[in-house]
């Protein structure tokens, strides 16, 4: 199949030439049993579970949705480094990313309408083991910071809308 840099380089050429679409659609579905907080999530050919902790009525069988958001951010940052390091010919021995988020439960439960629901603060730390010069790593860091998909989705205002459908039950 080739190295990551070769594979991604070919994909970039195909996007530039118009032989594959530049715009991509990502989808996920969640379902579960009524009265249960555990959800089954399906993405392409993959499935996994999400639950909440016992303080929210769950059984803590799996990470909660907010933790998956943190995991998605950590994985996207790490993957972006791996892909772009390969394209930029930057060698490193390892890369680890740790993401943490701070939110106020009063917002989640509607106890104080002045406090928004969700994370008010996200922080991440990237640890790279490498023998490369600092300037080369800095260029990689700046590139990933501008182009990491999930990181930049979370940074900017997002056009989001929801639709609701009611089904009659006999």
134-147 and 65-88 helices, crossing angle to 10° = 130
The verdict on 48 and 125 lying in the same domain is: no
Same domain, 106 and 129: yes
Tell me, what DSSP letter sits at residue 170? -
pLDDT, average across residues 26-50: 94
93 lies in the same domain as 56: no
Structure tokens of 18?
A: 């118009």
CA distance 77 to 66: 17
Same domain, 102 and 140: yes
Res 56: pLDDT: 87
Distance, in Å, from the CA atom of 75 to the CA atom of 153, rounded to the nearest integer, reads 14
**Domain C-terminal end among 10, 40, 62:** 62
pLDDT confidence bin for 1, thresholds 50/70/90: low
Count Cβ atoms below 10 Å from residue 56 Cβ, excluding itself.
13
Instruction: Enter the pTM of the model.
Output: 0.89
Going by their DSSP bridges, the two strands 46-50 and 39-43 should be labelled as antiparallel
Q: Is 95 helix (H, G, I), strand (E, B) or coil?
A: strand
pLDDT, tens digit (0-9, with 9 covering 90-100), for 97-156: 999 999 999 998 999 999 999 999 999 999 999 999 999 999 999 999 999 999 999 999
Number of domains in the chain: 2
Determine the structural domain holding residue 77 and report its residue range: 64-157
Which of these, 133, 57, 145, lies nearest to 97 by C-alpha position? 145
Q: Residue 93 pLDDT > 70, yes or no?
A: yes
30 and 78 fall within a common domain: no
Whether residue 18 lies inside any domain: the answer is: no
Q: Note the pLDDT of residue 152.
A: 95
Claim to verify: residue 29 and residue 101 sit in the same structural domain: no
Give domain status of residue 162, yes or no. no
Assigned domain for 1 exists: no
Evaluate whether residue 102 is within a structural domain: yes
Q: What's 140's domain CATH number?
A: 3.30.300.20
Q: Are residues 48 and 81 in the same domain?
A: no
- The strand pair at 29-31 and 39-43 is best described as antiparallel
Q: Hunting for tokens 């600092």 — which residue is that?
A: 134
Q: Is residue 142 part of a domain?
A: yes
Q: Are residues 57 and 75 in the same domain?
A: no
At 121 the pLDDT is 95
- 71 with 94, same domain: the answer is yes
Q: Say if residue 28's pLDDT is above 70.
A: yes
For residue 17, tell me if it sits in a domain. Answer: no
The answer to whether residues 49 and 70 belong to one domain is no
Query: Who's near 60: CB < 8 A, 6+ residues apart?
Result: 51, 52, 53, 54
Q: With residue 47 as reference, give the H or E element that holds it.
A: strand 46-50
């Amino acid at each position: 199949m080739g190295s990551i840099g070769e594979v991604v380089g070919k994909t970039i050429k195909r996007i530039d030439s118009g032989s594959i679409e530049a715009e991509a659609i990502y989808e996920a579905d969640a379902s579960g049993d009524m009265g249960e907080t555990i959800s089954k999530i399906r993405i392409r050919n993959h499935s996994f579970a999400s639950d909440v902790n016992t303080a929210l009525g769950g059984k803590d069988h799996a990470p909660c949705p907010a933790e998956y958001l943190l995991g998605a951010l950590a994985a996207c940052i790490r993957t972006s480094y791996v892909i772009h390091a390969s394209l930029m010919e930057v060698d490193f021995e390892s890369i680890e990313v740790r993401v943490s988020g701070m939110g106020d439960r009063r917002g989640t439960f509607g106890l104080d309408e002045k406090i928004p629901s969700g994370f008010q603060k996200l922080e991440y730390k990237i640890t790279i083991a490498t023998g490369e010069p600092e300037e080369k790593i800095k260029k990689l860091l700046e590139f990933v910071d501008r182009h990491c998909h999930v990181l930049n989705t979370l940074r900017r205002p997002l056009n989001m809308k929801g639709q609701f459908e009611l089904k009659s039950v006999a």
